[in-house]
Amino acid sequence: MRIFLTGGAGYIGSHTLLEVLSAAHEVCVYDDYSNSAPAALARVEQLTNRKFKTVTGDIRDQVSLATALTEFKPDVVVHFAGKKAVGESVEKPLMYYENNVSGTLSLLRAMEAAGCNRIVFSSSATVYGEPQYLPLDENHPLSATNPYGQTKLMVEHILRDWCTARDQASAVLLRYFNPVGAHDSGMIGEDPNDIPNNLMPFVSQVAVGRRETLQVFGSDYDTPDGTGVRDYIHVVDLAKAHAAAIVYAAAHKGCEAINVGTGQGSSVLDVVRAFEKASGRSIPYTMAPRRPGDVAALYAQPDKARTLLGWDAERDLADMCVSAWKWQSQNPDGYGD
């Protein structure tokens, strides 16, 4: 098939690109490199020994995007492009609504012009808001606690309405839990700008000596060790879920939301211990107050992905830490400048 990846140079996009090329699909990556580097694409080319098309552009640039889609004529679009930092979304909500919501509207218009009716969308477990029960299944009520979460919810609604209005349309909303880790080669991985917001990249930077101490946000939660519990999912498993979702979207019509998680919760201290084991380094940490907006525990009921996509997570927390460490230690400055 012909697969168009918006944001394909980013963390999850580059790992998915590798899986999609390995499955012998033809690919076009569309990215403005606002949060990524072309170096990631060069490394995927090296790893797969396959060529693919790239277009540099912003998804909000309707003309550029429509031209790219009309020329490439994709069977399925996988839509990663967007902003993802919760704190920044509170400070700059318009930037988030413009990139994530207007950007998606621009994409759907361009897809219609190019005659493409199938999309796989990067949604997030953030659409469940404060958990009312665990594990979170896809029928859990939806809500948003910040502008980033609002954009994911809005785009889910837009895609559902788009499918209702178009007989031939198919949308798969993949609700990611906490993606971490890197490709086994250590050649591609997560390369955050500035100070990482997320736990695993922060822990890796402490291990490699770029930062001194981890702050553990909250030690008095109602969890087994008092620290926050999340469902960490290996980015390679997540990439494989996209490959399965592409096949599903090509064979089905309508809109489906599907959790992508392991169903297993791990605490902050579980992650610290697993990373220490994987790296052979100690991770100094201090207990700090809770981070505003955080919940105690969040983990998925992953059965729907198994039933609809035939997909299951295969990698555990140790695999996630080993691969994250390989990437971090081989590339202490990420992709560099």
Binding site for ligand UFG (CB under 6 A): 84, 86, 124-126, 177-178, 197-199, 202, 214-218, 228, 230, 268, 291, 294
State the Cα–Cα distance between residues 117 and 222, nearest whole angstrom: 45
Q: How many CB atoms lie within 10 A of CB 194?
A: 6
Which residue is nearest to ligand NAD, using beta carbons?
A: 10
Helix axes 317-330, 199-207, angle to 10 degrees: 50
Q: Which structure tokens are listed for 158?
A: 């837009």
- C-alpha angle 108-122-37 in degrees, rounded to nearest 5: 95
Catalytic residue among 11, 128, 148, 299: 148
Q: How far is CA 48 from CA 19, 224, 237, 323, in A?
A: 9, 42, 17, 18
List the single partner that 197 binds among ligand NAD, ligand UFG, none, CB under 5 to 8 Å by kind. ligand UFG
Nearest to 242 by CA among 81, 50, 13, 47: 13
Q: Rule CB under 6 A: choose which of 17, 36, 249, 265 binds ligand NAD.
A: 36
How many Å is the maximal CA-CA distance in the chain? 56
Closer residue to ligand NAD, CB minimum distance, 83 or 118 = 83
Closer residue to ligand NAD, CB minimum distance, 10 or 265 = 10
Q: Rule CB under 6 A: choose which of 99, 150, 170, 262 binds ligand NAD.
A: 99
State the Cα–Cα distance between residues 290 and 221, nearest whole angstrom: 9
Closer residue to ligand UFG, CB minimum distance, 101 or 214 = 214
List the single partner that 31 binds among ligand UFG, ligand NAD, none, CB under 5 to 8 Å by kind. ligand NAD
176 tagged catalytic: no
Least distance (Å) between residue 166 CB and ligand NAD = 23
Least distance (Å) between residue 234 CB and ligand NAD = 12
Which residue is nearest to ligand UFG, using beta carbons?
A: 228
Active site residues: 148
